[in-house]
Amino acid sequence: MKPMFNRILFGGDYNPNQWPQDIWQEDMAMFEKAHINSATINVFSWAQIQPSENQYDFSELDQIVALLSKEKKEIVLATATGALPAWMFKTYPEVGRTDYQGRHHKFGQRHNACPNSLVYQKYAAALAGKLAERYGDNPNVICWHINNEYQGDCYCDNCEKAFRVWLKDKYQTIDALNKAWNMSFWGHTVYEWDEIVLPNALSEGIGQDKTAFAGISIDYRRFSSDSLLENFKMERAAIRQFDPSTPVTTNLMGTFKGLDYFKWAKEMDIVSWDNYPAYNTPWSLVSMTHDLMRGLKQQPFMLMEQTPSQQNWQPYNSLKKPGQMRAQSYQTIAHGADTIQFFQLRRSIGACEKFHGAVIEHVGHENTRVFRETADLGKELSQLSEIMGTENHGKTALLFDWDNYWALEYTSGPTIDLTYVDQIHHYYRYFYDRNIPVDMVSEMDDLTGYDLVVAPVLYMVKAGVSERLTTFVEKGGTLVTTYMSGIVDQSDNVHLGGYPGPLRELAGIWVEEIDALAPEQVNQVRINDHLSGSSYLVSDIIHLEGAEALAHYTSNFYAGMPAVTKHAYGKGTVFYFGTRLDTASFDHIMNDVKETAGIEPILAEQTALEITRRQSESHDYYFLINFQSAPQTLPARFAGKVDLLSGMTLEDKQQLPQYSTYIIKEERHL
C-alpha cells in the first residue's frame, strides 16, 4: 500500500519545554548526528499552553515548531490532553476521576481526566481545535497524536449517568437489560434506569478483578472503552475543522486490557503503539503483539515509543545489550512498522522518569554507547524507505477479541490461572517457532483467504461468530478451538444445550464437565496411542459426536476419555483441545493441524532465528534476526545473498551472533 509518510520517521518524544533554550541548539546538532528526522512534541504541555482558564500561550510551542521546521524535522504533534493542568482541578474538581474504590482524585499524575466530564471535554476539544488552527497547515506537521496512551476507568456520578444513557441506547427497555444481565439472580431486578450503579468495589466488585455480575462488568468495560473513544473522536473532529487531511493517531499499548483496540483502530488513520517488553518477555510475545497491532487495520503501523536503552517502571529495568535495540527495531519493522520512534530524545532531570533511557543521556554529549547505536540505526533506516508500505501476509489467522478477554478473566471458575493473553500466546508460540506468519484478527473480521483459523478460549461466542466459523470450515478451512470455548453469549449468559454450545456440531463433540487442575496437579494423556504426555490447567470431559480422538486421558477418573479431537466437517476440519498439553505433545498435534491446513513456513529449514517477511508487489524482504544467546547458523537458503543493511554477502554456514539482523531482498517470480 501507499505509505503514510515520505520516509521512515526516526525520532521520538521530545520535551524541550523542560529545558532552557541553549540546550535546544545542542539537541538539534545531536539529532543531526543521530539521523533523527522527526520529533513528537507537546505530549504533556497543557499547563504550559493554557496557563489559566481563559488564557492560551503558544509562544514557546511556536518557537519549538519553528525550530524543528527550520531543521526539516517531521513533527508528530500531540494535543497535550493526556495530563490536566492544576487550575482545572482547582476550579472544577469534577474533571478528576473517581477510582474503583470510590475515592475521588485530586490533582496529580496523568491520564487523569474523567472522560464524561463536560468541562474536560470542552477544554480538550478547544485545545485540539486551537492547535489544529495554528499548526495544521504547517507542512512539517505530518501526524496528529491525540492525548497519550488512553487508559483507566472512572466511577464518578457523571460516568454513572453516562453509563445509564449508554445502556438505554443498547437495551432500549429495562426488561431487556434485566434479561441480559440475568438480574433475577440474587434478586437484582431493577425497575428504573437510575437504579443502575457502576460496578466497582462499592457494588458488584469482588476483589480488584472479579465481579458478581460479569454481564454488568463487561458492559461497563465496553462503555469505558467507548467513553475514551468518544474523547478521541471529539478531539479528532476538532482537528478536522481546521486540518482535513493530516493523519490522526493515538499511541496504543499492545494487549492492554482496557480498550477494545479493534474498535478504536477503525477511527484511527494509522495505528501507533508503544513497545516496552520486560527483560524476560518472550520474543514470541513481542512478535505476537506487533502482529496484533498490525492486525488492527491489517496495515503498516507506527512504533510511537520504545526505549533506546532502559525503562524505569518495570521491577527490573535491565539495559538493552549492545545490538539489542537494533534487533528489536528491525523485529518491529519486520512485523509491519513504518516508523521507529523513542521515548525519549533527552532524559529528564527530575520526577519519576529520570531513570528512563533516552537518546541523549544525563551526561549531555554524544559519546555514549546508546547514542552511537541510535545514530548507526538512524543511518541505516535513512536508506531503507523502500520497505515502507510493504505488507505482511499470512494464511493463518489467530483470533483476538477484547470482549472475550474481559469475559474470560471476569468469569468466576473454573480456575484463576486462565488468563487471556497467555492463552493466545500459547498457540501463537507454535507458529513463531516455525517461522509461520500469523495474522491476528478479530472475531468480526473476514476469514476469506485464510487456510487456518485458530480460536483459543473462544469463551464468548457473539451473534454471527459461529456462523462465520462454520462457513469457513464448510468451504475447506481448518479451525482450531479449545477448552472454555462456546460457553457464553455477548451478555455472559450460557449457551444452553451442552458445551461448546454453538460450536458443538462443528467440533463434533459434547463437553460434559470441565475439571480444573491446580498448579501441582497433572493429568496424563496418550497421543494417537503411542506418545505419552501431560495435561494441565483444565480437563474437558469429552464425548465424541462425530469427531475422532487424537489424545485420551490416561489418568484421573476420566481416563480413557478424549482429550483432543479432530472432526471432518463440510470440506474442512475442526481440531479441539480439551486441555493444555506439554509442549512436545502440543506441537505433535499442531503438526497435524499444520499439515491438514496445508500451512507452509516462510522457510522449510529448521532454525532458531526469527524469520519474517514483508512483501511489495514485486519483492520479498526477509528479515533474519537472532534472538538466541548462542550463535545460529545461517540457513542454506540465504547463503550467497546480499544483506540489504550492510551490503555484505552472507556466507554458507555463517555464524550469526545474538542480535545480528539481516534483510534479504528478493524479486518475486510469479
Query: Which residues are catalytically annotated?
Result: 149, 305
Q: What is the x/- site pattern for Zn ion, positions 584-603, by CB under 5 A? A: --------------------
Residue 541 dihedral angles phi and psi, to the nearest 5°: -100, 110
**What angle in degrees, to the nearest 10, is found between the helix axes of 324-334 and 283-295?**
40
In single-letter form, the type of residue at position 239 comes to I
Q: Is the dihedral of CA 134, 140, 144, 147 positive or negative?
A: negative
Grid cell, residue 317, equals 529495568
Total binding residues for ligand GLA by CB under 6 A?
A: 9
Closest residue to bound ligand GLA by CB = 274
- What number of other Cβ atoms are within 10 A of residue 541's Cβ? 19
Selected binder of ligand GLA within 97, 145, 236, 356 (CB under 6 A): 356
Among 15, 40, 255, 311, binds ligand GLA (CB under 6 A): 311
Nearer to Zn ion, 222 or 356 (CB): 222
At 45 the three-state DSSP class reads: coil
Least Å distance, CB 478 to ligand GLA, is: 38
276, 505, 592, 600: which one contacts ligand GLA (CB under 6 A)?
Answer: 276
Per DSSP, 321 falls in state P
Nearer Cβ to Zn ion (156/270): 156
Residues in the chain: 670
Q: Which of 238, 302, 397 is nearest to 74 (CA)?
A: 302
149 binds, among Zn ion, ligand GLA, none (CB under 5 to 8 A by kind): ligand GLA
* Residue 31 CA: distances (Å) to CA of 153, 328, 366, 435: 38, 21, 10, 36
Give the distance, in angstroms, between the CA of residue 306 and the centroid of all CA atoms in the same chain: 14
451 binds ligand GLA (CB under 6 A): no
Asked if residue 579 lies in contact with residue 483, where contact means CB atoms within 8 angstroms, the answer is yes
Q: Which does 154 bind (CB under 5 to 8 A by kind): ligand GLA, Zn ion, none?
A: Zn ion
Give the residue with the Cβ less far from Zn ion, 118 or 352: 118
357 or 635, CB closer to ligand GLA?
357
Measured distance CA(412)–CA(33) in Å, rounded: 56
End-to-end CA distance of the chain: 19
Partner from ligand GLA, Zn ion, none contacting 309, C-beta within 5 to 8 A by type: none
What is the identity of the amino acid at 170? K
661's contact among ligand GLA, Zn ion, none, with CB below 5 to 8 A by partner kind, is none
40-99 binders of ligand GLA (CB under 6 A): none
Can you name the residues that pair with 11 across neighbouring β-strands?
Answer: 38, 341
Widest Cα–Cα separation across the chain? 77
C-beta of 307 vs 423, nearer to ligand GLA: 307
Of 54, 249, 47, 238, nearest to 128 by C-alpha is 238
Site for Zn ion in 169-188 (CB under 5 A): none
Is there binding between residue 343 and ligand GLA (CB under 6 A)? Answer: yes
Contact range with Zn ion by CB under 5 A, out of 150-158, 203-211, 288-296, 639-647:
150-158
Size of the site for Zn ion (CB under 5 A): 6
* Radius of gyration of the chain from its Cα atoms, rounded to whole angstroms: 26
Residues contacting residue 312 through CB under 8 Å, at least 6 positions apart: 352, 353, 354, 355, 356
Pick one of Zn ion, ligand GLA, none as the site partner of residue 156 (Cβ within 5 to 8 A by kind): Zn ion
Smaller CB separation from ligand GLA, 343 or 427: 343
Quick one: which H or E segment has residue 617? Answer: none
Q: Which is nearer to Zn ion, 104 or 188 (CB)?
A: 104
Nearer Cβ to Zn ion (50/158):
158
Return the number of other C-beta atoms located less than 10 Å from residue 389's C-beta.
16
Residues with Cβ within 8 Å of residue 342, at least 6 apart in sequence: 11, 12, 13, 305, 306, 307, 308, 358, 359, 374
Among 154, 469, 487, 645, binds Zn ion (CB under 5 A): 154
SS3 state of residue 362: coil
Q: Partners of 366 in the beta sheet? A: none
Vertex 356: Cα angle to 128 and 255 (nearest 5): 65
Q: Which is nearer to ligand GLA, 329 or 573 (CB)?
A: 329
* Residue 180 binds: one of ligand GLA, Zn ion, none (C-beta under 5 to 8 A by kind): none
Out of 39, 83, 143, 159, point to the residue binding Zn ion (CB under 5 A).
159
In degrees rounded to 5, what are phi and psi of residue 35? 60, 30
* 418-477: contacts with Zn ion (CB under 5 A): none
Q: How far is the CB of 304 from ligand GLA (least distance, A)?
A: 8
Tell whether residue 305 is a contact of ligand GLA (CB under 6 A): yes
Question: Please, what is the minimum distance in Å from the beta carbon of residue 377 to ligand GLA?
Answer: 19
- Any idea which residue has 481440531 for its cell? 575
* Residue 356 binding: pick among Zn ion, ligand GLA, none (C-beta 5-8 Å cut-off by kind): ligand GLA
Q: How far is the CB of 356 from ligand GLA (least distance, A)?
A: 5
Q: Where are the strands (E) in 582-628, listed by range?
A: 610-615, 619-625
**Does 119 interact with Zn ion (rule: CB under 5 A)?**
no
**Is the dihedral angle over the CA atoms 141, 145, 146, 147 positive or is it negative?**
negative
Give the shortest CB-357-to-ligand GLA separation in angstroms: 9
Question: Which of 37, 148 has the CB closer to ligand GLA?
Answer: 148
Q: How near is the Cβ of 177 to Zn ion at its closest, in Å?
A: 21
Shortest reach from residue 468's CB to ligand GLA, in Å: 35
DSSP assignment of 385-425: GGGTT-B---SEEEE--HHHHHHHHH---S-TT--HHHHHH
In the bound complex, what is the minimum distance in angstroms from residue 198's beta carbon to Zn ion?
Answer: 9
Minimum distance from residue 216 beta carbon to Zn ion (Å): 17
How far is the C-alpha of 55 from the C-alpha of 298, rounded, in Å?
42
113 binds Zn ion (CB under 5 A): no
Q: In this complex, which beta carbon is closest to ligand GLA, that of residue 305 or of residue 380?
A: 305
Contact call for residues 593 and 619 (beta carbons, < 8 A): no
Nearer Cβ to ligand GLA, position 311 or 392? 311
User: In this structure, are residues 187 and 193 in contact, taking their beta carbons and an 8 Å threshold?
Assistant: no
Selection from Zn ion, ligand GLA, none that 153 binds (CB < 5 to 8 A by kind) is none
Q: Which of 27, 149, 338, 366 binds ligand GLA (CB under 6 A)?
A: 149
Rounded CA separation 120/97 (Å): 11
Residue pointed to by grid coordinates 552472507: 650
Minimum CB separation of residue 97 from Zn ion in Å reads: 6
**Applying CB under 6 A, does 148 fall inside the site for ligand GLA?**
yes
* Residue of 9, 39, 156, 370 interacting with Zn ion (CB under 5 A): 156
Candidate segments 159-167, 308-316, 319-327, 516-524, binder of Zn ion by CB under 5 A: 159-167
Whole-number minimum distance, CB 351 to ligand GLA, in Å?
10
The only residue of 274, 361, 492, 540 in contact with ligand GLA, by rule CB under 6 A: 274
Which residues lie near ligand GLA (CB under 6 A)?
Answer: 148-149, 274, 276, 305, 311, 343, 353, 356
Which residues lie near Zn ion (CB under 5 A)?
Answer: 114, 116, 154, 156, 158-159
